[in-house]
Chain A
Amino acid sequence: MRKELQKYFRNDKLPHIWCPGCGHGIITGAVIRAIDNLNLEQSKICIVSGIGCSSRAPGYMNFNTLHTTHGRALAFATGIKMANHDLKVIVLTGDGDCSAIGGNHFIHAARRNIDITTIVFNNSIYGMTSGQYSPMTPKGAFATTAPYGNIDRNFDLCKLGQSAGATYVARGTVYHVPQLIKLIEKALKHKGFSLIDVVDICPTYFGRRNKMGSPVIMMEKIREMSITAKTAAKLSPEELSGKIVIGEFCEEKAPEYTKEYNKIIKKAQGGNQNG
């Protein structure tokens, strides 16, 4: 690892637990590089996760880090941000963690537009519990709990986040890393709820079950399937099926939750409840 990045890692905890070719390491690296590029103050960054392979990331990162309960990262993060809005709060979460058990917290954090950056390690599977289908597993894919193929339809996390009220929404992939770093930088600079859905790979469980074999083949798939948001805008729904649309979907200015609450404090202290 590059010398200038070492201070951001808990080097004595490496190597990480992730399988060979697991995309989680790539996303974690991208987050670190984005933080470094922006020169953010390390002691003012707080990284919160839930439970899953992906949620182990903060354990390797040298910041205020909190590895919470399955699905609840955004709830803990909301408390932290409310308590101290000077902290830059980042949530690292898996697709299951964020969209299944944590789905309610996800839409409500987005609705409040609280200044938290959420990065979803979206490998379309429950990796940690060895390969059950998640709300992000595509229809027709196989999982240990979908041995005949998955009949559930998957979420489009970006659409979900955007309609819930997120004010910065983008999708990147573990193949397109320079772009991913740029997207994370923009999300970190955004004031409000920002979401990055990162298309990720779990070679061990999703890959094997779906006969994709190696991390390399899974990456090739991402490369083949990816199109930019601009190109996608010109395509019909049929043409879009099976495509991964990457890039920015929304960037909006809207009142941020902790700032709004500070106004409440002023109001309450001024004694003018109606004003």
Chain B
Amino acid sequence: MIEKNIKILINEKACKKCGLCIAFCPTKVYASEGGKPLIVNLSACTNCKLCELRCPDYAIIVGGEDIE
């Protein structure tokens, strides 16, 4: 397996606590912390970016080298 170097950036100020990212991550990377996503299982992240695309408030960035 390729060594993964995935990062998830969450802009807490932009998050409106809708819960979509938490509910629909296929690999349950997030838990809810007062409605906001808390990264609890980063190693499970497949970098599918669904959470980023579904966040209505553009509060999430998922990636490897493509984010700094």
Do A219 and B56 touch (CB < 8 A)? no
5 pairs, CB–CB < 8 Å, chain A vs chain B: A14-B14, A14-B58, A21-B18, A178-B50, A216-B24
Interface range for B: 20 to 34
CA distance in complex: A175, B11 (Å): 21
Tell me if B56 and A177 are in contact (CB < 8 A). no
Q: How large is the interface on A (under 10, 10 to 19, 20 to 34, 35 or more residues)?
A: 20 to 34
Q: Establish whether residues A26 and B56, one from each chain, have CB atoms under 8 Å apart when the complex forms.
A: yes
Give chain B's interface secondary structure class.
Answer: loop
Given A1-B61, A2-B67, A174:B54 Cβ within 8 A: yes
Question: When the two chains form their complex, are residues B53 and A15 in contact, meaning their CB atoms are under 8 A apart?
Answer: no
The 9 A-B pairs at the shortest CB distance, nearest first, are namely: A25-B56, A21-B18, A20-B16, A177-B53, A1-B58, A216-B23, A20-B18, A215-B18, A26-B56
Q: Is the CB of B19 within 8 A of A214?
A: yes
CB neighbours (8 Å) of A266 from chain B are: none
- CB-defined contacts of A20 to chain B, threshold 8 Å: 16-18, 56
Please, which residues of chain A bring their CB within 8 A of the CB of B23?
A: 216, 219-220
Q: In chain B, what residue has the closest Cβ to A2? A: B61
Given contacts A1-B11, A14-B14, A177-B50, contact A22 B56 (CB under 8 A): yes
Selected contact of A26 from candidates B14, B54, B68, CB within 8 Å: B54
Closest to A30 in B: B53
State whether B20 touches A216 (Cβ < 8 A). yes
